[in-house]
Chains A and B, each alone.
Chain A
Amino acid sequence: MQRIAERVKVAAIFAPGCKVKPVWFEWRRQKHAVVQLSYFWQDCLGNVTRLHFAVSDGSNLFELMFDTSNQNWTLEGIEE
């Protein structure tokens, strides 16, 4: 996976009783619809919990990360 580590704009659904679900994200002025969420995991950096999502837009695989402390989304990497 190619490391990107860029902040991105993400639309996500926060539904009661469910995990956060990214719906689309915008990276380098291009909007990618999430067609598949293939894996989810979380980890901690210090006392900050980070949520990781392996998502596909139908062509490529992306790893999105949601930082629960500052509520920012980062595109961690891309597998083309």
Chain B
Amino acid sequence: MEIERIILHIDMNAFFASVEQQSNPALRGKPIAVIGAAKRTIVTTCSYEARAFGVKTGMNSWEARQKCPELIFVVGNNRKYTYTSKQIINIMRDYTPLVEVSSIDEAFLDVTGCLSLFGSAQRIALLIKERIRKQLGLTCSVGIAPNKLLAKLASDMQKPDGLTVIETGKVRQVMERVPIQDLCGIGAKMQQHLAKFGIKTCGELGRFPVDILRRNFGVTGEKLHYMGLGMDHSPVIPDEEAEEVKSVGHSTTLESDIAERREILVYLLQLSEMVGRRARKYKVAGRTITLTVRYADFTTFSRQESRSSHTNNSEEIYQASVKILESLELTQAIRLLGVKISNLRHHNEQLPLFPAERKKALLACAMDDVNDKFGDFAVTFGSLLGKETGSKVISPAWRPEGVRNVDVD
């Protein structure tokens, strides 16, 4: 017989904004929006007081100000948020080793095996909430359910500072009226597709003939059927058991749109160095280099090229991305650039055999040693001197450890 699992989903409430309100007591109870330091910036997150005025994540600052004239803009401090996130994850790990961090402010916990130690899932949730509040002054919403899908749904039901339990016996009753878009994994497009079949609630999705779903959506059709029934067998996978990463990449939205080749090359070099340095740090090397370009009108495309050998050398990554750039006919100014290596080889510790290659590897190694000691870009390519460097945005793929742990400024 299958053991019934008990999963917690913990979602920090308006995370970056709450951290800023804790840091600066004068901001508490006020509508604030956290923004980036860059010139053209969007709202990264906003306080509940700002949300009441209709301010939302992703709005540009002008739009947000229109919604709420009293809105206070706070330039985010990513290092404060990553430190705080790590503290929160450490608290969670005191209750179960099965913690899957899904982003900087969300995690799943499988507490099935820990109940004899702590009593009940509700007690674990309350203990975690209390410690986060006491140590950091922050609140979170917790969902408790028999699987990840329902735990996530439950945590969204009561915000801020909620605790919602979906018991196994009540799943069907709960799902009956839940709109499909409330389920994690059903976006606006899928919602439109399902609406064509007259499906608007999870109850309707669960009852809909699975054959028709399969015929229209393939493998996803069957998954959708189970989602409608509130079933999800995916395990909680802690970071150390997660699949090895498939790529290492960085992208950046430029301060202003650029069309000059010379300027584009500087950004490519910077991104290549960030990719190379992270790849070398975690001993991975890639054979495929991908360049991503977003035009001013948001048209985005990627082109890739595979090499004959693996590399994590910044200069080689740069040369490959320049080669891809040369093959493109740019029709507009560029808004965003991204460089990625994939087709990875892990545990890449072999020193090249030939003198020229070996020299390059040793040079990169020497630069890494200096940068490990004095900080990223302390020693770098001459053409990057005096330029803004480093990661400015916390990616959704950010994790507290491993190759996905990107140091942000």
- Contacts from A to B (Cβ < 8 Å): 1, 36, 38-39, 41-47, 52, 54, 56, 61, 79
**Interface residue total, chain B, C-beta cutoff 8 A:** 20
Give Cα A56–Cα B83 distance, bound, in whole angstroms: 21
Give Cα A39–Cα B79 distance, bound, in whole angstroms: 13
Contacts of A38 in B (CB 8 A): 22-25
Residue B121 CB within 8 A of the other chain: no
Asked if residues B26 and A42 are in contact (CB atoms below 8 Å), the reply is no
CB within 8 Å for A46 and B80 given contacts A38-B24, A54-B24: no
List 17 extra interface pairs beyond A42-B83, A45-B374, A46-B378, CB under 8 A.
Answer: A38-B23, A39-B19, A39-B80, A41-B79, A41-B83, A43-B79, A43-B83, A44-B407, A45-B375, A46-B372, A46-B374, A46-B375, A47-B372, A47-B373, A61-B23, A61-B26, A79-B26
Asked if residues A56 and B25 are in contact (CB atoms below 8 Å), the reply is yes
Give Cα A1–Cα B24 distance, bound, in whole angstroms: 10
- Contacts from B to A (Cβ < 8 Å): 19, 22-26, 75, 79-80, 82-84, 137, 371-375, 378, 407
Contacts of B83 in A (CB 8 A): 41-43
15 contacts between A and B (CB under 8 A): A38-B23, A38-B24, A41-B84, A43-B83, A45-B374, A46-B371, A46-B373, A46-B374, A46-B375, A46-B378, A47-B373, A56-B25, A61-B24, A79-B24, A79-B26
Which of B19, B23, B372, B373 has the most chain A CB atoms closer than 10 A to its own CB? B23
Contacts of B80 in A (CB 8 A): 39, 41, 52
Give Cα A56–Cα B26 distance, bound, in whole angstroms: 10
For residue A42, which residue of chain B has the nearest CB?
B83
Give Cα A61–Cα B84 distance, bound, in whole angstroms: 20
Give Cα A61–Cα B233 distance, bound, in whole angstroms: 49
Contacts of B26 in A (CB 8 A): 61, 79
Asked if residues B25 and A36 are in contact (CB atoms below 8 Å), the reply is yes
Give Cα A45–Cα B82 distance, bound, in whole angstroms: 14
Give Cα A30–Cα B372 distance, bound, in whole angstroms: 37
Asked if residues A39 and B375 are in contact (CB atoms below 8 Å), the reply is no
For residue B87, which residue of chain A has the nearest CB?
A41
Give Cα A70–Cα B375 distance, bound, in whole angstroms: 16
